[in-house]
Structure 1
Amino acid sequence: MDRADMNGVRTALFALIFYPGSAIFAILGMLAAPFSERVVQRIAYGWAAFHRACAAHILRIRVVLEGERPAGQVIYALRHESFFEAIELPRLLGNNPVPFAKAELSRIPFWGRAARAYGMVFVERTQGATALRTMAKAAREYKKTGRDFAIFPEGTRVPVGTAPPLRSGFAGIYKLMNLPVVPVAVDSGHVYRTKPKRSGTITYRFGEVIPPGLDRAEVEARVHAAINALNPQDQRVGVSPSSSSLPGLPDR
């Protein structure tokens, strides 16, 4: 059996184990939701750990971490090449990070209720200013808990080797939260977004901490450069934010 065929077998086995297992975690989270936020957060961590184990032992994907996570409350701004890093957030970042997510995710059966209990900032992207006010109120409440935040500033999954501009809403969140930003480069797409998935290495590179209070152009330029640090040098392009007024949201 050649490598392509082996990848196909591993991908099929991964699907047979991971997706039914994920359904169990979602149901457990939904059942725990009315009673304990802490239990839901532990279930979320367990799901992320289960995913990492499936990726490691079935898909033969190795994860490498470069750089360090700082002490204190921060916003993590991650490049988004595949679902891998979205699932990984509780395990990768610790401290039960609060993700910013599109509201459609909250309506997924079982998972949506568990996600609300875990603590996510959902945004109705069609509601404009009303959505922003709702998001800001929720984010301020979570900030009081000391939990970190996580955002995908490109707003959707991006193709391998590209460096699209950041969504303009990232700068709004940066200003609203008044927290340092830690940019995180990720190169998951070349193994996890392919059909079939491939064995190989995924690297997370934590960049230098970016302090609060910078102007929009500077913070966007620094985040853009850092999250694309694993791209070839000639594929890093300048920042030209879109006109969207809403934050970058993971496209699941």
Structure 2
Amino acid sequence: MMTLLRSLLFALVFYPGSLFYVLSALAVSLIGAAPLRRVARGWAQFHRWCAASILGIRSRIEGIIPDYPVLYAMKHESMYETVETLVLFRDPAVLAKQELIDMPLWGRVAELHGAIPIDREGGASALRKLVRAARAAAAEGRSLVIFPEGTRVPHGTRPPLRSGFAGLYRQIGLPVVPVALDSGRVWPRASFLKRPGTITFRFGEVIQPGLDRNVVEALVHAEINRLND
């Protein structure tokens, strides 16, 4: 019962509060990108506060977060890590499904923030557009965040990586940092209920650019699943 009440209270606080941040971000976007990014980070901090204070969910970091642009290849088990990236990293450019960018209001803010849409139905032209956006973000000194499994997966599962990850790795030439996590234990992808607990983000060793596709995919796949053992 307590888990249900906590989850309900979180929804009643976080989602209306998010609308305030979205509208604020749209307003300050008229001034420039920097104010918008500050509002986006404030939203992520609000999310972190709601998760900790209402749900009893907190983050723990293991490993080293680089202070230079990299491509973060992150395990994806819940919504939690999609928002937490804005607090963990400095102004990251997150690769997101086109359907999310198409959402009213929020999608526009994500686009203005620098989110890079993944249009799997767009063919070669969509891929070229993605690569151009990724290179532009890296040139600004921003790290990229990709969820190479393509979607949220249940905790304990090890799906293969989508082919787009290796293509992006080859095209942009950034080092890769695999990120393992276990958010699905407390924030299951298909459940309204969220349980108290600690989500561990484990940062792996930096993988340099230029590796063969099979090699980098095998390394990243093993590293992002380390917490699932």
Structure 2 CA distance, aligned partners of 1:149 and 1:124?
Answer: 17
Task: Specify every segment of 5 or more residues in structure 2 that has no aligned partner in the other structure, as ranges.
Answer: none
What CA distance in whole angstroms lies between the structure 1 residues aligned with 2:112 and 2:193?
33
With structure 1 as the length reference, what TM-score do the two structures score? 0.88
Q: 2:163 aligned with 1:146, yes or no?
A: no
**Structure 1: runs of 5 or more not aligned:** 233-252
Q: Where do 4+ consecutive residues of structure 1 move more than 4 Å?
A: none
CA distance in 1, matches of 2:149, 2:109: 25
C-alpha contact (below 8 Å) 1:76/1:148 kept by paired residues: yes
SS of 2:59 mapped into structure 1: strand
CA RMSD, Structure 1 to Structure 2 (Å): 1.0
Match of 1:216 in 2: 213
> Aligned match of 1:55 in 23, 40, 51?
51
Candidates 153, 175, 191, aligned match of 1:158: 153
Q: CA deviation at 1:112?
A: 1.6
Q: For residues 205-229 of structure 1, what are the alpha-carbon distances to aligned partners after superposition, in whole Å with 9 as ceiling and x for unaligned?
A: 0001111110001100110011000
- Report deviation, 1:172: 0.3
Q: CA deviation at 1:166?
A: 0.3
**AA aligned opposite 2:34:** R
Query: 1:31 aligned to 2:24?
Result: no
Q: CA deviation at 1:117?
A: 1.3
Deviation of 1:122 (Å):
1.3
Alignment of 1:1-252 (within 5 A): 5-93=1-89, 95-193=90-188, 194-232=191-229
Q: Give, in angstroms, the shift of residue 35 of structure 1.
A: 2.2
Distance 2:174 2:142 in 1: 11
Distance 1:126 1:118 in 2: 23
Q: Distance in 2 between matches of 1:63 and 1:122?
A: 27
AA matched with 1:214: L
* Partner residue, 1:235: none
- Deviation of 1:124 (Å): 2.4
**How far apart in 1 are the matches of 2:148 and 2:212?**
16
Q: Contact 1:163–1:228 at 8 Å: present in 2 too?
A: yes
> Which residue identity does 1:173 align to in structure 2?
L
SS at match of 1:126: coil
* Contact 1:79 1:154 (8 Å CA) reproduced: yes
For 2:183 and 2:53, the matched residues in 1 are separated by: 17
Give, in whole Å, the separation in 1 of the partners of 2:102 and 2:69: 29
Kindly, what percent of the aligned residue pairs are identical? 52
Equivalent pair of 1:33/1:113 in contact (CA under 8 Å) = no
**Counterparts of 1:162 and 1:214, CA distance in 2:** 26
**What is the rounded CA distance, in whole Å, between the counterparts of 1:133 and 1:196 in structure 2?**
40
Instruction: Give the residue type in structure 2 aligned to 1:12.
Output: L
Deviations 1:93-145 (A, max 9, x none): 2x201011122222212112211111111132211111011111212221210
Q: Which AA in structure 1 matches 2:129?
A: T
CA distance in 1, matches of 2:157, 2:223: 14
TM-score (norm 2): 0.96
In the other structure, the counterpart of 1:244 is: none
- The Cα of 1:62 is off from its aligned counterpart by 2.2
